[in-house]
Structures are given as structure tokens and as C-alpha cells.
Chains A and B, each alone.
Chain A
Amino acid sequence: EAGVVQSPRYKIIEKKQPVAFWCNPISGHNTLYWYRQNLGQGPELLIRYENEEAVDDSQLPKDRFSAERLKGVDSTLKIQPAELGDSAVYLCASRKSATNEKLFFGSGTQLSVL
């Protein structure tokens, strides 16, 4: 069984440029999360989806961040424009349902904003 797949693995951009991250969760997983992990810190939630609905986006900086999960499968997280402080690892995670505690993480996208 394939795990949670994220791409790209690394991304280097200049500030003020846009950037997008893609996540393909495990097949059949309805719940999807995007986390941001700053250097030396634990992951922090950005947004949570139940199928195609964003049920918790309270931590998403909506002035520059956006996310979508069309058809309730793949998801894209976008930053426009990127700032220096956005440099971090962006993690995607999925689980079969909200009541299933087994959570699977992707390897993440490491973003460097110069």
C-alpha cells in the first residue's frame, strides 16, 4: 500500500514568489491535514479536511495561504506571496476517518524562501 505522497520534496524560491505543494493521501482516507513544521519545532496544524470540506482552517494565514481538496482526494496548499518566515517543512497527513486514530504522514516538502 502506498503511503501519503507529497511533492515536491524540496523547493527553493525567492520571497514574494508563489509556491504550491501537492499531497496524495492514502487511498480511501477521508480526513486530510496540512501541518507546518518550523526548524526545531513540532508540527503545527494549518488546515484539516473531511472529504472536500475544510472543517478547521482557523490556523491558516488566509491572507497568503490557500488550500483546496477537490473531489476529496488530492490536496494542494498554496502560498502567495511567500515570505522569508514561511521557510519550513510542510507536512501532509491522512487517516481513514475522523474516528480512526491511525494517522499517516508524508515525508513533507521542505521550503526555503530566500
Chain B
Amino acid sequence: GNSVTQMEGPVTLSEEAFLTINCTYTATGYPSLFWYVQYPGEGLQLLLKATKADDKGSNKGFEATYRKETTSFHLEKGSVQVSDSAVYFCALSGQQAGTALIFGKGTTLSVSS
């Protein structure tokens, strides 16, 4: 079945450091890929998405490229801020409309000033 594997955390960085959180997936067909973020005390929020191979999703300085050849969707940011401290979840959605998201285990990012 479909699954998502993301790097385990926690990831601890200093402000303005470069961020990469790895995510790989297993799926049949052509899933859509997502990154969700969960700030302390808040619900999950969509950060970015990509719906087909080679698409790049971007938002708030974060970006991720849908790589079908490596079945990956790594999250990157060139310069993190303290306010980026949160839990990041990689997720996929199957081709059939309405299918539920399948999430990775989440990666906790802690940014210090």
C-alpha cells in the first residue's frame, strides 16, 4: 500500500541555517504530495503541495520538488527563522478523488536565535 517515510527528528538549527527534511514515498500511480506544518498548540496547516512529477511547491520560503525518479519530496528552506519551529509532516494522497491523506511520522524542527 501507499506509505510515506520522512527523516526522524528532532532537527535543531540556528537561525538563518539551511534546512532539509527528507521525505520519500511508496505509491501506485501518480499521487499528490504535500507538506503540512503543525505549530505548537495549533492544528495542521497545509504548507505546500505538488500534484505531478517535477512540480515544485513553494510557500513562506519553503519549497519541495516532486521527484518521481527518486520517489522523493524533500522540504528545503534557505534560511530558517525561530518562527519556523514546528512539526513538519510529509503526506500523500492517492489518485482517486477524496482519498485520505497518508502521513509520515513528522519531523520536529527547533530553531534557536
Contact = CB atoms under 8 A, between A and B. Distances in A.
Interface of A: 3-4, 31, 33, 35, 40-45, 48, 50, 55-56, 91, 93, 97-99, 101-103, 105-108
Contact of A98 (B32, B98, B105): B98
A33 B100 contact: yes
B101 interface: yes
Contact of B43 (A50, A98, A101, A106): A106
A56 B36 CA distance: 23
A108 B45 CA distance: 13
Interface stretch (B14-22, B58-66, B89-97): B89-97
Interface of B: 4, 32, 36, 41-46, 49, 51, 89, 91, 93, 97-98, 100-106
A30 B102 CA distance: 20
A40 B105 contact: yes
Contact of A91 (B43, B91, B104, B105): B43
B44 A105 contact: yes
3 tightest Cβ-Cβ pairs between the two chains A and B: A98-B98, A42-B103, A105-B44
A91 B97 contact: no
Given A105-B43, A105-B45, A99 B97 contact: yes
Contacts of A97: 98
B91 A42 contact: yes
A3 B43 contact: yes
Contact of B42 (A44, A56, A107): A107
B61 to A, nearest CB: 21
A48 B106 contact: no
Contact of A55 (B43, B98, B103): B98
